[in-house]
Chains A and B, each alone.
Chain A
Amino acid sequence: MDFGDTQEEAQFRAEARAWIAAEAPTYLTDSLTKSGFGGVKTGDFDPMVEAKLWQRKKADAGWACIQWPVEFGGRGASPMQSVIWNQEEGIYGKLSGSFIIGQGMCAPTLMAYASEANKARYLPKLASAEEVWCQLFSEPQSGSDLAGLRTRAERDGEDWVINGQKIWTSGAHHSDFGILITRTDPEVPKHRGLTMFFLDMKSKGVVIKPIKQANGESGFNEVYFDDVRIPDTQRLGEVGGGWQVSLTTLMNERLAIGGGIATGFPEIKELVDGLALASGRAIENPAVRSKLADWYAKSAGLKNTSARAMTALSKGEMPGPENSIGKLVAGGMMQDIAKFALDLQGLGGVIVDPQLAAHSARLQAMLLRSPAVRIEGGTDQILRNIIAERVLGLPEELRADKGIPFSKIPSGN
């Protein structure tokens, strides 16, 4: 067991550090430090423009998506080098938040299922964020029950014709492409009638409508498909094999989200360090100390769990489903932290004006954004089901839809 860098790791770290020191957008340091929950804050600058600039700069110098093969715009780096890069990139990494879905989830799916020609055409531009991608999975009737989706794809010559609706599509409004899961056969059991595609978001018949979120921002959208044509060359995997393909995406979703996940611990620690309560210094209050200890132990546990996953990866082993604990722990914890942080500040705790509130109102933003963490990318309940069934081997849920053709499944309306 060894937590230090090996000689090669140290050398790689030094190289990354030097490049970042020379090239990072230091004019954004202050705003980036203060942002964290919900949209990234870049002060007077446009966040998407800044994000693309930084990504492009990284790509040109070989520091984008460093684990990808060089021919697809990466660096062919090891998992451990990728961890080191993320540590060194630090707050500037926040800029790439809008690219996580494309680079962390769509790209691995393309690598596994796209034709060589399509990989060569799309992956390098995905790495440099010249083109941004989104994930068109959830529908009004099927979120947790993803395989219950209804968007239809029907074959017509060399094309497929798409009709239906997706919802909660993060970033659809600034995306160039998306991966889309559809139903191609409603007369077989639900998991068997699905097919995956990717499409140009500017295709004729695609309509994107932003949804205003509970926290006031608009990160996700409704996406409508009205006779949208997709060439068969943009199919990913077999016809009827869409479920298999989606598992690749979802597994990578857990890795992409699970690794360096935010927990809110640094924010609550910073708050209580300087805070006075009616009873005296917050950091000396027993209730505060007890909660801080619990939260630190959890966030350290997550950090150490992902370090173990990295060790497994670097030995060529696949990290196990235990990585589903990341978002499950972090989501609830963030919500608890935010609630507690406000509670320590009297009525003033409700203020969201960054000029008036403590720490630029980051904890208030956390309060309003954290409910979504427990829903997006698999709800807390779905994650517990996964742990119970896949990890502990407990018996499956009794299901009302097992073995029945999709068209005969009760839908409640």
Chain B
Amino acid sequence: MNFDFSQDEKMLRDQVARFLSDQCSSKTVRSVLEGKAAYATEVWDGLVDMGLTGTAIPESYGGVGAGYLSLCLVAEQLGAFLAPTPFSSSVYLATEALLLFGSEAQKDHWLPKLAAGEAVGTLAVVEAVAQTTAEAIELRFSAGQLTGKKLIVADGGISDFAIVLARNPAGGLGLYLCDLQAGGVVKTAVDTVDPSRNSTSLEFNGCPAELLGTEADGWAQLATVYDRAAVLFAFEQLGGAQSALNMAVDYAKQRFAFGRPIGSFQGLKHMMADMYVALKLAESNCYYAAWALSTNSPDLPLAAATARVSATQAFQLCARDNIQVHGGMGFTWEFDCHLYYRRSNYLTLQLGGLTEWEDKLVSSLASGEAAA
């Protein structure tokens, strides 16, 4: 057993961290938050230049082929710096869906573009203000066209194509790839708790689309994509949690009240110790899930749900209590505390909330996995 990342993987992580600490300050995050840009284009371009969009894409499709352990550490840093780019939608969701279910022709066409950052993709699933179920999907695919509406699509406004969950004439669900540049899609921005991420509703009025994978298996395919993406999202959450905790600790050391640093008050110390505990549990679970992802282990559904549950808990706790440590300053627009708070809640919901992942975790446990 060797439960650690390799030197090469850690070097890549450090390189990404250096780049982001130069290029992705909170000023950059705020430019998107305040509506001055749809996403941080320079950050995105830099990530593309470093080849990161192709991290897990095989070289035969124009990627770097560095694998999922590397991608996990990239995700951690993107989360730590709250990078306002479509990386997660394009890399963890669209790229994964294509790698898993794309035909040779689809892969040949899209993967090199995704790796080179010439195309941005996303996944369009949600139709209502409710947890998504297979039964509730109404958007239709027939005669090669999509008709209907997706209520909220992460990065929908800045994507070149979307992979859309839709109902086919036989009544089953499939995943369909739709070129959003081809016209016929109405994009409407949606306001959310985290405006530093692009969120858009997509209305399809007979837009041409093609099947990805098998006609009747869309729901199961989606679950497979989600299991893999959950690990990468969990790493983003982990990075965010670490940054929020660092911010709290730094402030608590500097700020004085009652003649002493507030970090010497046990009420705050114990709160930050609990943040640390949640973070460490999540980190260890994320590492295990990274391994499961990189080896296609049969343990992946359980490992992914476990990482997702604990990373969600950790980021939510750290972001919430970071505000508390900052007192009144934590509740200002000027301080960055709310950026983490917003992002933590956005990321929680992005693949279905904590409740849904808890439920998945227990289902995977019940299907005969070993108990911890």
User: B-contacting residues of A (Cβ < 8 Å)?
Assistant: 1-6, 9, 80, 83, 263, 265-266, 269, 273, 283, 286, 289-290, 292-294, 296-305, 307-308, 310-312, 315, 322, 325, 328-329, 381, 383-385, 387-389, 391-398
Contact = CB atoms under 8 A, between A and B. Distances in A.
Contact of A387 (B260, B273, B357, B365): B273
Nearest to A304: B284
Interface of B: 1-6, 69, 245, 249, 252-253, 260-261, 263-264, 266, 268-270, 272-274, 276-277, 280-282, 284-285, 287-288, 290-291, 294, 305-306, 309-310, 313, 355, 357-359, 361-362, 365-366, 371-372
28 contacts: A1-B290, A1-B294, A2-B1, A269-B371, A286-B355, A289-B359, A290-B355, A290-B358, A293-B361, A294-B313, A296-B372, A299-B372, A303-B372, A307-B3, A307-B284, A308-B4, A310-B3, A311-B4, A312-B4, A315-B4, A325-B280, A381-B266, A389-B269, A391-B276, A393-B253, A395-B260, A395-B263, A397-B264
Given A293-B305, A307-B288, A311-B2, 4 more contacts: A1-B2, A1-B6, A83-B1, A269-B365
A81 to B, nearest CB: 11
Contacts of B362: 283, 289, 292-293, 296
Contact of A3 (B261, B272, B281, B291): B291
The 3 A-B residue pairs with the shortest CB-CB distance, nearest first, are A301-B281, A293-B358, A304-B284
Interface residues of chain A: helix, strand, loop or mixed (majority): helix
Nearest to B366: A283
B261 to A, nearest CB: 5
B371 to A, nearest CB: 5
Nearest to A283: B366
Contact of B371 (A266, A289, A322, A381): A266
Contacts of B272: 388, 392, 394
B281 A298 contact: yes
Contacts of B305: 293
Contact of B365 (A290, A292, A394): A292
Given A297-B306, A300-B306, A387-B277, A393 B249 contact: yes
A328 B281 contact: no
Nearest to B294: A1
A308 B287 contact: yes
Contacts of A325: 276-277, 280-281
A374 B306 CA distance: 25
B263 A301 contact: no
Contacts of B273: 383-385, 387-388, 392
Contacts of B270: 381, 384-385, 388
A4 B291 CA distance: 11
Nearest to A273: B366
A300 B372 CA distance: 5
Most chain A Cβ neighbours within 10 Å, of B263, B270, B273, B282: B273
A398 B269 contact: no
A398 B276 contact: no
Contact of A385 (B6, B260, B269, B355): B269
B361 A297 contact: yes
A328 B277 contact: yes
A297 B281 contact: yes
B253 A394 contact: yes
Contacts of B245: 392
Given A1-B5, A296-B306, A297-B310, A384 B269 contact: yes
A80 B2 CA distance: 10
A263 B359 CA distance: 21
Nearest to B270: A384
A13 B234 CA distance: 33
Contacts of A311: 1-4
Nearest to B5: A1
Given A283-B366, A394-B249, A296 B5 contact: no
A395 B260 CA distance: 9
A299 B359 CA distance: 17
A298 B359 contact: no
Nearest to B263: A394
B258 to A, nearest CB: 10
B298 to A, nearest CB: 12
B280 A322 contact: yes
A266 B1 CA distance: 24
Of the candidates A1, A4, A381, A383, the one having the most CB atoms from chain B within 10 angstroms of its own CB is A1
Nearest to A5: B1
A397 to B, nearest CB: 7
Contacts of B290: 1
Contact of B285 (A9, A290, A300, A397): A300
A303 B273 CA distance: 19
Contacts of B284: 300-302, 304-305, 307-308
Interface centre among A6, A83, A388 (most CB of B within 10 A): A388
A398 B260 contact: yes
Contacts of A307: 1, 3, 284, 288
A325 B277 CA distance: 6
Nearest to A389: B269
Contact of B264 (A6, A83, A384, A396): A396
A387 B276 contact: yes
B238 to A, nearest CB: 12
A298 B266 contact: no
Contacts of B252: 394
Contacts of A80: 1
Nearest to A288: B362
A315 B3 CA distance: 11
Contacts of B358: 289-290, 292-294
Contact of B288 (A300, A322, A381, A391): A300
A6 to B, nearest CB: 8
A4 B299 CA distance: 13
A78 B357 CA distance: 38
Contacts of B264: 394-398
Contacts of B309: 293-294, 297
Nearest to A270: B371
Contacts of A4: 1
A196 B5 CA distance: 41
A294 B317 CA distance: 14
A182 B182 CA distance: 82
B361 A385 contact: no
B133 to A, nearest CB: 15
B241 to A, nearest CB: 13
A154 to B, nearest CB: 37
Contacts of A290: 355, 358-359
Interface centre among A294, A304, A312 (most CB of B within 10 A): A304
A322 B309 CA distance: 20
Contacts of A298: 281, 310
